Amino acid sequence: MMSDFLSVSNLSRSYGEFHAVNDISFSAKQGEFIALLGPSGCGKSTTLKMIAGLELPTAGKIEINGSDVVNTPPGKRNLSMVFQSYALFPHMSVKENILFGLKARKVQKQERNKRLNEAVEMVDLGPHINKKPGQLSGGQCQRVALARTIVSNAPLCLMDEPLSNLDTKLRAEMRSEIRSLQRKLGLTVVYVTHDQIEAMSMADSIILLNEGRIEQASTPEAFYEHPETPFVAKFIGHPPMNLIAFDDLLVGVRPEHIGLVEQGGLAVSVVECDYQGSETILTTSFKESTIRLSLAGKRVLAPGAAVNIQWVPENEHHFSSSSGQRIERTNSVMNS
Amino acid sequence: MSDSLHLDNYRYLLEDEVLLQVLSNSFWYAAITVPVSIALAIAMALWVNTKLRGVGLLRLAYFTPTVLPMISVANIWLFFYSTEIGLLNNILGYFGADAVNWLGDPDISLYSLMAMTIWKEAGFFMIFYLAALQTISPDLYHAAALENASRWTIFKRITFPLLMPTTLFVLVNAILNAFKLVDHLFILTKGGPNNSSNLLLYYIFENAFSFFDTAYASALTVLLLIILVFLALLQFGVLEKRVHYR
């Protein structure tokens, strides 16, 4: 088995009484794409900054390629970083921005230009290298930031919400571009995001953080099919998983797993019908719970209408309502 | 009054040896006080921009000279410079050195004025640099730190170029001040001894109100104006191209 390229153990960071990051551990193999996912303020960016060396941990260990780097300055950790703001130097041309690191590291001119040309080619910036960042679009700035990573030749790349300043269409494009770049260069990537779609579609494994702790760490499939807590269940999927209270049980079912039936199942009443083109999101109420359904195509149902809904027992997730932990399936609520 | 329209006054500009001395003084006064106070202002701004305890007090201390009127500053510095009871000579005496006639020695008086001016101006310019420094995104410094850039590289290639718009603004102000602030001359040297510390604007004042030669004072004023216009054009023309505005 290949050893871990990046390993973070018992990492903590507190500001006075506030624990931004609370005893988290995870690791990444060489060439692995890891997403640190979570709502804002969950400690994901702080974790990334600690790996980069821009922030000091209050406790814990960070190992890169087998050596402890906690006391190593950022510039000597052999990693690159893509910032949410891109962190491009506004007064330098694209070319100077890309070359900044190589010049600071006193790389020979010939080697510098070779790497520059390769990188510019890879991210398709050819016609823009003499422009200033202010003359570029958001997507182009993003490419400059990526080119900076490419020329550094660093095996580890940290990305801090790199796509959050782009519009939806460009975001989807850049997702696959970053992913293919990462594969081509064999980069180990730690990718911070609050967007579950980015994490699900790009990452080999996801670490979901909540209030400074790891809520779940697993593959995207396991996140979708096997959420460990109601928080995870709610966080992954769009619209989020329904959580319905049945006695001492929280039953989770994804909107796309629920269908309408003529009779039987659960009797609910329609609250709202939201047509979105390829699907219709139907909001219904059942006792005190709200249940959303995602139905294919256009469906028109009047608010207040009584309908019956049903799902297959395999798509049901059970959580203890007292401990919040996942309980392996007992009996489906559909049968009772 | 017909004199004031006469070209003789302008012709005399070319022959006036005192004017030559005054222009040379003004040139050196600007050439030394402006760069030194700007360099000090940047250094102080970088220093107080860090997260240190008591940095608020430090900022206040640097800013105090700016709040004081030039006349009071000159009166304070008179006590530093005075030969018998002055602070500087007392310090020199403590180390066994000979007393210096700071304001009375023609070779030193202009430099004494410069030192005071730098003290007064640097704190003011620091405020502009401090404000500019705080608009620079910390991400830029993070990105540079990840590239293992040295502090000097970071200053030379990131901080200083991003401060250029401020530097242009400060430079214009500093040069204007070098020509138009002469209040301290009234208190400290009155341009003496033997015009060794006389500056152009003070010379204009002398001509107009001590020698009552309004006509020649007017001619001198035109000269001052031409110099200022020329300097302003030079600054914008040369520096504008090299300044990156966001």
Q: Does A100 touch chain B (CB under 8 A)?
A: yes
| Same-domain pairing of A220 and A173 | yes
For residue B142, which residues of chain A lie inside 8 Å, CB to CB? 52, 54, 74, 81, 83, 87
Over residues A148-170, the mean pLDDT reads: 91
For residue B246, which residues of chain A lie inside 8 Å, CB to CB? 90, 134
Mutate to test the interface with B, among A15, A49, A50, A54 (most CBs of B within 10 A): A54
| Same-domain pairing of A87 and A147 | yes
Of B140, B148, B244, the CB nearest to A104: B148
Q: What integer best gives the mean pLDDT of chain A?
A: 90
Report yes or no on A32 lying in a domain: yes
- Which one of A192, A225, A258 terminates a domain? A225
| Same-domain pairing of A32 and A109 | yes
Nearest to A144 by CA among A77, A202, A83: A83
Higher pLDDT, B190 or A80: A80
| Same-domain pairing of A198 and A275 | no
Which CATH number covers residue A284?
Answer: 2.40.50.140
CA distances from A243 to A77, A232, A281, A286, A335 (A): 44, 11, 16, 11, 18
- Which tokens in the block code for residue A79? 């990693």
| Same-domain pairing of A20 and A100 | yes
Q: What angle do CA B7, B8, B13 make, to 5 degrees?
A: 100
Report yes or no on A335 lying in a domain: no
Q: Is the pLDDT of residue B1 over 50?
A: no
Interval A112-144: pLDDT, tens? 999 999 999 988 888 899 999 999 988 899 999
Report yes or no on A230 lying in a domain: no
Q: Does A81 touch chain B (CB under 8 A)?
A: yes
- Which one of A225, A253, A273 terminates a domain? A225
- Residue A268 in contact with residue A286, Cβ under 8 Å? yes
Over residues B110-127, the mean pLDDT reads: 88
User: What is the ipTM metric for this complex?
Assistant: 0.84
pTM (two decimals): 0.82
Interval B94-112: pLDDT, tens? 887 777 788 888 888 889 8
Report yes or no on A53 lying in a domain: yes
Contact map slice: B 30-49 vs A, CB within 8 A = none
* Domain region containing A267: 238-327
Which range, of A147-151, A153-157, A231-235, B229-233, averages the lowest pLDDT? B229-233
What domain count does chain A have?
2
Phi and psi at residue B5, to the nearest 5°: -95, -5
Of A89, A101, A148, the CB nearest to B140: A89
| Same-domain pairing of A32 and A150 | yes
Interval A248-266: pLDDT, tens? 888 899 999 999 888 888 8
- A105–B140 CB contact, under 8 Å: no
Higher pLDDT, B75 or A336: B75
Which CATH number covers residue A77?
Answer: 3.40.50.300
Instruction: Identify the band that residue B175 occupies on the pLDDT scale cut at 50, 70 and 90.
Output: confident
- CA dist A244 and A257 (Å) reads 14
- B146–A81 CB contact, under 8 Å: yes
| Same-domain pairing of A79 and A197 | yes
Report yes or no on A13 lying in a domain: yes
Q: What fold characterizes domain B2-240?
A: MetI-like fold (1.10.3720)
Contact map slice: A 134-153 vs B, CB within 8 A = 134, 148, 152
Pairing label, strands A266-275, A306-310:
antiparallel
Three-state DSSP state, B41: helix
- Which one of A201, A225, A249 terminates a domain? A225
Mutate to test the interface with A, among B137, B146, B162 (most CBs of A within 10 A): B146
